[in-house]
Structure 1
Amino acid sequence: MDTSIVAATTNPKGKYCALAVCWLLGIGCLLAWNSMLTIVDYYAYLFPRYHPSNIITIIYQSFAIGALSVLVHKEARLNTRRRNLFGYSLFSLGSLAVLVLDLATSGRGGIGSFIGVCVISAAFGLGDAHVLGGMIGDLSMMTPKFLQSFLAGLAASGALTSGLRLVTKAAFKNSRDGLRKGAILFFAVSASFELVCVLLYAFVFPRIPIVKYYRGEAILQGAETVAADLAAGGGTQVAPTNQDVEAPRYVRRLNKRDLMLLYSDLAVTLFSVYVLTFSIFPGFLSEDTGKHSLGDWYALVLIAVFNVSDLVGRYVPVVKKLKMKSRRGLLITSLGRLLLIPAFNITGIYGSQGWMISLMSVLGFSNGYLTVCVITSATHDLLAPEQNALGNLLVFFISGGMFVGVACDWLWLIGKDW
């Protein structure tokens, strides 16, 4: 018997350590992409004719949804350890590549540099497909608390990059050289942090006793994807001893078709949430912000408001009384968010910046809140292989919603001078 696992089940430190690592890994999942997204004003300065905010986003999402299509189909036979380590390594190398590209071209624009940025954006999309689906599928076999922490980390990456962007903009001013210094700092931080995530996932996370317990239990239920992770942690399965370890409820095996039929409403909910969010964020902010008293700070403030609101929304369901559990209620609420499209359009034309900031906070809060409510409640009462499969399917619908939303984002350009 692995005494370290017994210690974790009687000592909450194992759980809290896992929660902290999940949060950090969530940050790493989107930090590289958020860094590229947050310095879009630098790319808009370098590539004014190419609409970089829209182009790099749709390239990112195209590669993410394409890779996910393959990974979801083969998720039951994939090595989750290799999948996640590949994704985090790709984030770290891609962030480093942005630095090398900028230094090699001395910060000059042009079609060659833009193509390089697009290639790196595609690499980030490929990494996202590996990590997001891999981590959510893996954590779905454990406890909703770990999932919530990881999902909160995703939002925290946006909030952190927005805060850092505001600081660098103030420190380096709005000159071309200042924008470049801020971009270099962003990706130096991103490359370093992604390397930390590689090390955390490779050497720390699999050794946490409570994580070893859940993975051992998943293998007993027929999961093949976490065998390498369990071996890396040196864990063996034992019975839980307290409420920190939630025993699974065993039900019949379901295939992907059965899962889609049973959880189609949740898939539609997540799809509609992300279609709406990404039809507005971030393209609308860079194309339709107009002229306001905040000047060139306006778009950055709106992005920061969205990211902070998204983070807050992901923590609200921690309070059980505030967590929406009705699947019908979640679906109706997600569809009701479509009213935000005419609200943003009208506010963009006639409203003040205060109204726009308020709308952006509603968009971010509802995005984070609904995401956590759906994902943390979706995999209850399933066996580990089914939890992993459903987690990957839900990520596929999130990515699909992002892709469609980014495509719709171009509609804001209709009638404008290209």
Structure 2
Amino acid sequence: QKPSDHFHGAYTIFFLLGIGSLLPWNFFITAKHYWMYKLQNCSDQADPTGQAVSDLRDFFESYISIASTVPSVLCLVGNFLLVNRVTASVRILSSLFLMLAVFLVITVLVKVDTSTWTTNFFALTIICVVVVSSASTVFSSSIFGLSSCFPMKNLQALISGQAMGGTISAIASLIDLAAAPNVTDSALAYFFTADIFIIICIMVYLLLPRLEYSSQKENPSLATVPPDSSAENEAEPEGTPNTSFLAKSTGIPPLRPILQKTALLGFCLFYVFFISIIIFPSLSSNIESVSKSSGSLWSTKYFAPLTSFLLYNFADWCGRQITAWIQVPGPKSKLLPALVLLRTIFLPLFILSNYQPRAHIWTVVFNQDIYPVVFTALLGLSNGYLGTLVMVYGPKIVPKELAEAAGVVMTFYLMLGLAVGSSCSILIVHLV
């Protein structure tokens, strides 16, 4: 008799690893008050250098998006080439330790006075973003490929955990913002929370191979963490080996059959995140309350953290959770790409909300606070639901021996959408 997942141990581990896979990105973009504080001293300067740094401050989210996504595409290519040559344990643990090291540096810099070298601090921050995002990409694509070899519920746990990571970072930011007496104390507690959680991810990953549930069959890409059989094979006789997991290959996985099987799903995944990254956080976090002049805490201090970061991430998590019960449309349905393309309408909706500062498009059509709240909720919900459907479908429509490689390819489509979208976000922000 095959072992069951006692106390949902494997499910919980994949959920926690999902949180950790996007935690660095979420902690970077959610700490907007801290980055604005670190870059504020030069925004009042009148010389060209001061104006340049002011521009860095105004378009900080767009620069962060580019720095985190473009290098990640290259890392995904490397991860695909190494998927059968370097064990998943090596790739996952090395990327986690690298993320931890860089985040410790960021935590230390919180209390360092950078007012005399703001531009250099910005450059150092961008370098940290590049390194952390590259490591995070290797980690997330590797753990996604690994989860593809487990039953689908573990894959859904991983994807749901990714959205919960954004919600946790937004909640942590709000708590620190409300409780800490100043920005630096808030940021110190905030980034220290990220350090602790990365350590937790390392610990739970090391626990995974010790579970009886995950120790029955040997996965060639993971020397110490073999996956259970997929749900489709649960009817196999007990003594029948799963040869797709036992047949070890050290070469590069065949790319053509994976691309042929996942082409439409890949486009859908690309476009879902292309639209999302253009809007969030570059556009959505700069939408101000129409009653900001009142000076209330809601309209000044908490409007963007609540209506942009927390609401989007929570809605994204809800969308991903829904896929555990509802999985329509199917992977071959024409309705799926139609729904994905329909999300383009979010662009004019956010542009015509109270985005500030505006340089070219002066018209604000949606001049009530409720509008960006509804738009953000729908953006996050559709991103979570449609993105998760496509991610889950991808590795399941290829032969099982290609499931892990297909997981890496699907992550490549996702990161390509983020990279292209983040580049376009700067153009959109400048046009507004």
Say which structure is richer in helix: 1
Structure 2 counterpart of 1:209: 212
How many angstroms does 1:374 deviate by? Answer: 1.4
How many angstroms does 1:37 deviate by? Answer: 1.1
Alpha-carbon distance in structure 2 between the residues aligned to 1:74 and 1:292? 53
Alpha-carbon distance change, 381 to 291 in structure 1, aligned in 2, over 3 angstroms: closer
Query: Structure 2 matches for 1:332-371, cutoff 5 A?
Result: 332-348=338-354, 349-351=364-366, 352-371=368-387
Pick aligned residue for 1:80 from 69, 84, 88: 88
Structure 2 counterpart of 1:264: 263
Percent of residue pairs identical: 20
1:182 and 2:186 equivalent?
yes
Alpha-carbon distance change, 277 to 71 in structure 1, aligned in 2, over 3 angstroms: same
Alpha-carbon distance in structure 2 between the residues aligned to 1:144 and 1:190? 28
Alpha-carbon distance in structure 1 between the residues aligned to 2:381 and 2:243? 32
Farther off after superposition, 262-271 or 107-116: 107-116
Alpha-carbon distance in structure 2 between the residues aligned to 1:129 and 1:171? 32
1:13 and 2:28 equivalent?
no
Name stretches of at least 5 consecutive residues in structure 2 with no aligned partner. Answer: 41-53, 293-298, 355-363
How many angstroms does 1:205 deviate by? Answer: 0.9
1:391 and 2:391 equivalent?
no
Check conservation: 1:313, 1:364, Cα contact below 8 A.
Answer: yes
1:163 and 2:153 equivalent?
no
The superposition leaves residues 171-208 of structure 1 with CA deviations (integer Å, 9 ceiling, x where unpaired) of 236xxxx1211111111111111011112112x01112
Alpha-carbon distance in structure 2 between the residues aligned to 1:84 and 1:271? 24
How many angstroms does 1:381 deviate by? Answer: 5.4
How many angstroms does 1:291 deviate by? Answer: 4.5
Pick aligned residue for 2:336 from 330, 333, 345: 330
1:298 and 2:314 equivalent?
no
How many angstroms does 1:72 deviate by? Answer: 1.9
Structure 1 counterpart of 2:68: 60
Alpha-carbon distance in structure 2 between the residues aligned to 1:57 and 1:225? 31
How many angstroms does 1:379 deviate by? Answer: 2.2
Alpha-carbon distance change, 313 to 248 in structure 1, aligned in 2, over 3 angstroms: farther
Structure 1 counterpart of 2:28: 36
Structure 2 counterpart of 1:226: 222
Check conservation: 1:53, 1:282, Cα contact below 8 A.
Answer: yes
Pick aligned residue for 1:122 from 130, 152, 155: 130
For the residue of structure 2 that corresponds to 1:72, the secondary structure is: helix
Alpha-carbon distance change, 108 to 296 in structure 1, aligned in 2, over 3 angstroms: farther
How many angstroms does 1:33 deviate by? Answer: 2.1
Structure 1 counterpart of 2:49: none
Check conservation: 1:46, 1:109, Cα contact below 8 A.
Answer: no
For the residue of structure 2 that corresponds to 1:414, the secondary structure is: helix
Alpha-carbon distance in structure 2 between the residues aligned to 1:337 and 1:41? 29
Whichever residue aligns with residue 403 of structure 2, its letter is: Q
Normalised by the length of structure 2, the TM-score is 0.82
Alpha-carbon distance in structure 1 between the residues aligned to 2:4 and 2:161? 24
Whichever residue aligns with residue 20 of structure 2, its letter is: G
Check conservation: 2:20, 2:197, Cα contact below 8 A.
Answer: yes
Farther off after superposition, 160-169 or 147-156: 160-169
Number of corresponding residues:
386
Alpha-carbon distance change, 381 to 340 in structure 1, aligned in 2, over 3 angstroms: closer
Alpha-carbon distance in structure 2 between the residues aligned to 1:29 and 1:372? 15
How many angstroms does 1:25 deviate by? Answer: 0.7
Name stretches of at least 5 consecutive residues in structure 1 with no aligned partner. Answer: 1-5
For the residue of structure 1 that corresponds to 2:396, the secondary structure is: coil
Check conservation: 2:331, 2:390, Cα contact below 8 A.
Answer: no
Alpha-carbon distance in structure 2 between the residues aligned to 1:399 and 1:86? 20
Q: Any runs of at least 4 consecutive aligned residues in structure 1 with deviations exceeding 4 A, and if so which?
A: 106-109, 240-243, 247-250
How many angstroms does 1:107 deviate by? Answer: 7.4
Farther off after superposition, 379-388 or 339-348: 379-388
Farther off after superposition, 48-57 or 287-296: 287-296
Check conservation: 1:44, 1:53, Cα contact below 8 A.
Answer: no
Structure 1 counterpart of 2:16: 24
Check conservation: 2:166, 2:313, Cα contact below 8 A.
Answer: yes
Alpha-carbon distance in structure 1 between the residues aligned to 2:119 and 2:183? 19
Whichever residue aligns with residue 210 of structure 2, its letter is: R
Structure 2 counterpart of 1:198: 202
Structure 1 counterpart of 2:361: none
Alpha-carbon distance in structure 2 between the residues aligned to 1:186 and 1:410? 27
Alpha-carbon distance in structure 2 between the residues aligned to 1:108 and 1:290? 33
Farther off after superposition, 52-61 or 289-298: 289-298
